Each structure stands twice: as C-alpha cells, then as structure tokens.
Amino acid sequence: MSAFPVPAEDELDALATATRPGTVTVIVPTFNEAANVGELLARIAASVPSHLPCEVLFVDDSTDDTPEVIAKAAQDCPFPVSVIHRDRPDGGLGGAVVEGIKAAASDWVVVMDGDLQHPPSLVPELVAVGESADADLVVASRYTKGGSRAGLAGGYRVAVSRASTWLTKSLFPRALRGISDPMSGFFAIRRAAVPAGSLRPLGYKILMELAVRSRPRAVAEVPFVFQERYAGESKSTPREGLRFLRHLVELRTAAPLARLLVFGLIGLTGFVPNLLGLYVLTQAGMHYLPAEILANQAGVAWNFVLIEVFLFRSRRHRHWADRAGRFALLANADLVLRIPLIAVLVGQLGMSVLPATGLALLLTFVVRFAATEALVYSRRRKFPTPPLPVTGAPPQTPCPQSPPATAGRCPQTGSV
C-alpha cells in the first residue's frame, strides 16, 4: 500500500462526471454540533460539483437541537440530507460511522467530522484519487507531504496525537502500511471493501478499526491541513483516551495467541496484590496457609478487573457476578490442580521439582486461559450476516406526508 499522486483539477472533473448518481455518501457523526452544521452543509454544497451527485448523512448522538438545526439548514441544500438520531451512542463516534455505512446507498463513503476541522473541499478529491488509483481506502493525512496539523490546539494535543500515531503504527505495522495518519477521521472508503459484521468500534478512531479489520487491498493518501474548530468545544477527553487504549488492546488481541500472551502478562501483574496481601495478613498474625488462600483472592480480583477492561470487554455477555464467580472458581482450581500435577511429574515421570513446577505452571496456565475463554467469556452465537450491498435504497426514505420541495425532519425515519 502506498500513496498515489493527486489528479489535476481537470482530471477530478472528468472522474466526477463519470460517476453514477448517488455514488458518494458523506457521513458526518455529530454530538452537539448545532453551531457547525449549517456552515458545514454550505461548504459541502460549494465544494462538490453539480455533476458529482452526493448525499449527506448525519448520524447524531446529540443532546441539543442539532437534528432540528440540520433540518432547517437542509432546506437550501442541492443534495439529499438525512439524519439518523441514536438514543444510545453505542460504540461512540466509531459506532455512529458504522451505522452510517450500513445505511448508505453509495459506492463510496466519505467520513468527516462536523466541526469543519476537515475541509469539505477535499470530498471530491478523495473519491477521485480512489477511482484513479483503484484504491479501496483514501486517507486525508496531516503527516504526508503538503499536510499539516496546524489546527491542533496547544502542545499537549500535538504531543498526544504524535504519541498515539507512533503507538498505533508500532502495534499494527502491516495493517497500517502506507497510512501515515492512522488517527485521521477524514477518509473515503468503498462500501464493498467493508466486511459486514466484523467491525466492533470503540470510541472515535474508526479509521484504525476499518484498516485493521478490513485490510483494504490498496490505500492512497491525500494531504490536508487540519483546521481550527469553527464553533463549539473539542470532544476529546481523558475518558476518550482510555477508550482509545482499550480499543488498541482489543484490536491487538484479536488473534488467540495474542490474547494468550496478554492473559499471561495480566496474570503476572496479579503477583503484586497477592504478595502484598500475604505480607499484610502474615504480619497481622495469620497462619501462612489460610493467609495464602485469602491473598490469592486479591490477585484473582486484580486479574479479573484487568481482563474485563482490556482483554474481553466485548464478550461480557453474562451478568458480572456470574463472570466473577466463574473466573474465581477457575483461578482457584488452578491451585488445586497444580499440586497433584507436580506430584505426578516428580513421582511418576522422575522430573526434578523445579522443572516439574515450571511445566505444571505452564500447563495449568494454558488450560485456565482456554477454560476462561470457553466458560466465562464465550462468544455470542451469530447467524451469518449477508454482505453489505454495493447499491440500494437511500439511507433514509423521505417522509411521505411531506411535499417533495419541503425539507423537514420525518418523525418516522429522521429524514430531512
């Protein structure tokens, strides 16, 4: 995967002319962006050529009047504008984008923020570059030649962006090869390249999710200058940062071997509360045997919390008390099984104590990992999901009670 040259302006026009109606859906996830959407729609209307048919789909998680503002602004738009309002923001901004991709009717989907930090003038260029380069994914990058992160406010956000980019590319060097800005929220992707049912977004870094899970066959990049927000405040918070880290872990541990390694690392950290609890209890005068049993529960609780948060967050289908009970039972059964196994290895197979203990630890660890996956965090059974159609109905059906020339919000579908 590599970057491709940007077509000249006349080439962009030629490519746009060759596209079919409804070929571009611009998906804008919004959360309380009422002050921005009017200007955003005006700039999209000014930027997208009349011979490049497009539609704009807002997927809205707002608690303010953003949907009503969109409906009013849509009256002057030369293209269809629709709204999907979600009462529950499942998956955050990334979940909103996936919802939009499922509803879109076009061959190409362009994802952009609603705060105008992503210049709408690049929408036709992203699609044109994808067509000319025969790419499945075109990323608007701040870090390729000609791009800039100028709109990032303050040294702290610049440092966080750089560190996040380095960490992400280090963890996924193959999946993100050719993508200089995996943290970008501005990109175009062919809908046919998005595998249905495989996306599990968490937070706002949906490009990373798409690139790692979809593995597009070819990627292109277009430089862009990151703008300052037009209005409102940034939605980036420490909580979103934590969700981003959890998302990284979930993506990195998608393979069984990777999950096994992380499971082992979490288990090693459990020695800290275990030994601390043992020290406190024995210093208080408790006999070391019951103290060891009680202290082991501190390590079990520690491991359970970390595994819940970082390793099996998407598989928490059972009630938390059920999961905790099963996990504790398996963790304590490990102690019960280990001693008889060591006895067999030493007494029956003639191994010395230290190698026997090491082998017993390894065997019981692997068995506990497999049992934890199967009995505590088993996957939900799913029926096969058909692939996303390349063409189909528009994302929302106009409200039948409304005359065609009137733009308003449909109470049944959310269309405007």
27: domain CATH number is: 3.90.550.10
Could you report the per-residue pLDDT of 274-300, keeping only the tens digit for each? Answer: 788 888 888 888 887 778 778 878 888
The more confidently predicted of residues 239 and 17 is: 239
Q: Is the pTM of this model over 0.75?
A: no
The more confidently predicted of residues 99 and 93 is: 99
Q: How far apart are CA 171 and CA 251, in angstroms?
A: 9
Do 154 and 267 lie in one domain? The reply is no
Residue 238 lies in a domain: no
DSSP string, 252-269: HT-SHHHHHHHHHHHHHH
Do 273 and 368 lie in one domain? The reply is yes
Residue 405 lies in a domain: no
Residue 316 lies in a domain: yes
Do 204 and 264 lie in one domain? The reply is no
Residue 416 lies in a domain: no
Tell me which residue of 204, 109, 187, 172 sits closest to 141, measured CA to CA: 187
In this structure, what are the phi and psi dihedrals at residue 328, rounded to the nearest 5 degrees? -65, -40
Do 204 and 328 lie in one domain? The reply is no
Name the one residue in this structure whose structure tokens are 């733009």: 407
Residue 381 lies in a domain: no
Residue 84 lies in a domain: yes
Average pLDDT, the chain: 77
Q: How far apart are CA 372 and CA 341, in angstroms?
A: 20
Do 272 and 316 lie in one domain? The reply is yes
Please say which residue of 358, 375, 392 terminates a domain.
375
pLDDT band at 315 (very low <50, low <70, confident <90, very high): confident
Please say which residue of 200, 233, 266 terminates a domain.
233
**334 to each of 2, 224, 257, 278, 327, how far by Cα in Å?**
49, 55, 20, 18, 11
Contact assessment for residue 74 and residue 37, using Cβ atoms and an 8 Å cutoff:
no
Q: How far apart are CA 206 and CA 183, in angstroms?
A: 8
Do 312 and 165 lie in one domain? The reply is no
Number of domains in the chain: 2
Do 270 and 353 lie in one domain? The reply is yes
- State which residues form the domain around 209: 9-233
Name the one residue in this structure whose structure tokens are 């025969």: 134
